[in-house]
A and B are shown apart, each in its own frame.
Chain A
Amino acid sequence: MDRRRPSGQERNYLILDKFIERYRGRPGGLVRILFKAQELFGYLSPEVQTYVAEKTGLPASHIYGVATFYSRFITEPPGKYSIGVCTGTACYVKNAQAVLDRFQAALGVKEGETTPDGMFSLRTTRCVGACSLAPVVTVNDDMVGEVTPDKVADVIRRCREAEAEEETERVPERRRPERDERAAPPGP
């Protein structure tokens, strides 16, 4: 899949530079920088980690240590639709395990993996704070409540429909803005 073009990539680094300048050395600065990097590039690849190390002046081992300590950081490329099954307590007692099992079977991947076509990745998340709607599943930034095992197929179908819609909307000559660019703040 053609996910990142050089121009988009360069822009992302420029945005990241500004962010690093603003947050370097402040409380929580590194974590915020890494979040921004993850938002821009989708995940924290070794290259991105090295870049952050150079720009912040922190040792690469330190960046790696922080990136791997926290469960919200991902160091592998995610799928286009990142499905998260909440395994917090409220969801667990409402049988989140069965929901996870159903997703694994339906997508043919295990927790922490991505489908070969790069479309879906499956992971477990910590409590997302919507415990009254347990079991809860997140699809990228959206939250879906009361996802019992028999609603799993529905969640997957809706992703595929969104994908098909995007396919038909895509105008061949005009480049569709990439997700990162849409999320980027307006330029100077």
Chain B
Amino acid sequence: MYRSAADLNATKERLRPVLEERLQEGQLGRPTQVLVCTGVGCISAGSQEVLAALKRAIKDHGLDVTVTHTGCHGYCKMGPLVVVYPGGVFYRHVTPDEVPRLVQQHLVGGEPVQDLLYREPGRNPVLFARDVPFFRKQKRIVLANAGLINPENIDEYVAHDGYAALARVLAEYSPEEVIDVVTRSGLRGRGGAGFLTGKKWAFARAAEAHPKYIVCNADEGDPGAFMDRAILEGDPHAVLEGMLIAGYAVGASEGWIYVRAEYPLAVRRLEIAVRQARQAGLLGKNILGSKFDFDIDLCLGAGAFVCGEETALLRSAMGERGEPRPRPPYPAEAGLYGKPTIINNVETLANIPLILRRGWEWFAGIGTERSKGTKIFSIAGQINNTGLIEVPMGTSMRTIVYDIGGGVPAGRRLKAVQTGGPSGGCVPADLLDVPIDYESLADLGTIMGSGGLIVLDETNCMVDITKFYLTFAGEESCGQCTPCRVGIHRMVEILERITSGRAQEEDLRELEDLAHDVRETSLCGLGQTAPNVVLSTLRYFRSEYLAHIRDRRCPAGVCKPLLH
């Protein structure tokens, strides 16, 4: 039980040596801890078997070495990942067959196993995680715990300063002061729109009606983005702590996490986290000896993109079909059961404990003038190091794609980076040096969205990709409003004609007009943003459209009817 800040400190003291060892990288010593990644990527590559084999071998050798499983490091391509402490020796592609050698040579003999280390072609192997290029240019603050602590053990979270922000808030801050800190930090919503989080909280605080609710949006609808999943699986308590602080700030005593059922592991880890937090007294009545009561429960999303939109999400949570409604009223005034409701994204909430623990000044010192803090991006598509990364706002796409992502495979040419998923557009190869933040991406005709980056190269056809996104948006349209239902369908038809060589140049004008109409007249964000991809590709890749129309040719060689 954690009844007070002192109880939290006691756990921290007790586990500090273990945690500190994991934080000090770069010094070899007698191995004492082995961490095995059990993120989804590593599990599918067999990390559970590696974990079992390690436990067995360590027991057989009678070694005094602990084995812990962690969340995702983000470098899924290299899985299964195993890290040995002290030092943080970073092993990749470890199979159960390699385990005896790893145990014998490194854990018993103290000699790292060279051929299991990360290595760039023609270079020496890299011993420590911090020196691997993929990690070197990152700034992992929200993801700091993912890959470092056991997400199924609340004490490890506590030992790494977990729930310290909550303890301080309950003891020292009025709700207004909390909102003030969050506002000053400049934190903006990571779910897409980039609305100031503190401002949203202030609205809900000011609303008269009771009860109030906190909802965590863990629907992660952008197909191709998986940062929320990594947080939920790697550091679930950070999200719970963020919700607790939000609850205290706006005066809510109930929180709901709307999590998509496509993420069974995230659901399981959240269930464990909620149970442990309840048992520890961090959820329930009189939390940490204060007058604050708060509890959290889960609510499963069942596979509809539009349910990530906040008004649709609320309807879905209330057991209806997840169809959006016009705003205002905003959920902060009338949300769940018509009561004031804060809806925040997973990553937004995971930033909250950091801001309250380390101060708004610290947070506001990271990033660009109007976009503060870091952003987590998932990088996928035609890139060597697919995975999950965290960088300061304002980092250029070039740094992400080349320095961290390792560039495009097989020496092919980069064409564009798609951002913002079905609501976004693309950044063409010659604009990669623009520092990324909410504003700069909007200027380029795309959006930050949730942070999914899809790297496209010369083998991808921009017209085909546009058709893919619009088809998706059309399928996911709830059908309530005509512009979205009919307009998107009409645009898909035009794109069909273009990709099958049956289009005229006038079609491009109609496509553009339709895109503007749908954008301006749709009921919800889905329809309002779906045309972005059309407008963006027309802006940067008009010649590719024209090649399809005039020359009946697909330059990327993707559109089958046009291959001669």
Contacts and interface: CB of A to CB of B under 8 A. Distances in A.
Contact of B336 (A27, A87, A142): A27
Given A27-B318, A30-B319, A132-B77, A72 B224 contact: no
| Residue with the highest number of chain A CB atoms closer than 10 Å, among B41, B298, B378 | B41
A35 B223 contact: no
A163 B418 CA distance: 42
Interface in A128-148: 128-134, 141-145
A52 to B, nearest CB: 11
Interface string B321-350: 110000000000000100000000000000
Interface string B217-233: 00010111110010000
B562 interface: no
B115 interface: no
Given A69-B304, A130-B41, A132-B386, A28 B317 contact: yes
Interface residues of B, number: 54
Given A66-B319, A73-B302, A93-B465, A129 B226 contact: yes
Contacts of A94: 381
B299 A69 contact: no
B71 to A, nearest CB: 13
Interface string A12-50: 000000000000001111111011000000000000000
A31 B224 contact: no
Interface residues of A, number: 39
Nearest to B475: A71
Contact of B299 (A27, A65, A72, A142): A27
A32 B300 contact: yes
A132 B380 contact: yes
Nearest to B468: A92
Contacts of A127: 222-226, 262
Contact of B381 (A70, A90, A128): A90
Given A27-B256, A92-B468, A132 B299 contact: no
Contacts of A93: 380-382, 454, 456, 460, 465
B261 interface: yes
A35 B319 contact: no
Interface of B: 40-41, 43-45, 76-77, 220, 222-226, 229, 256, 258, 261-264, 297-305, 316-322, 336, 378-382, 386-388, 418, 421, 452, 454, 456, 460, 465, 468-469
10 contacts: A70-B301, A70-B303, A88-B224, A89-B381, A89-B421, A93-B381, A129-B229, A132-B226, A132-B388, A133-B45
Q: Which 10 A-B pairs have the closest CB atoms?
A: A28-B299, A88-B223, A70-B302, A89-B224, A127-B223, A90-B380, A132-B386, A71-B303, A72-B303, A132-B76
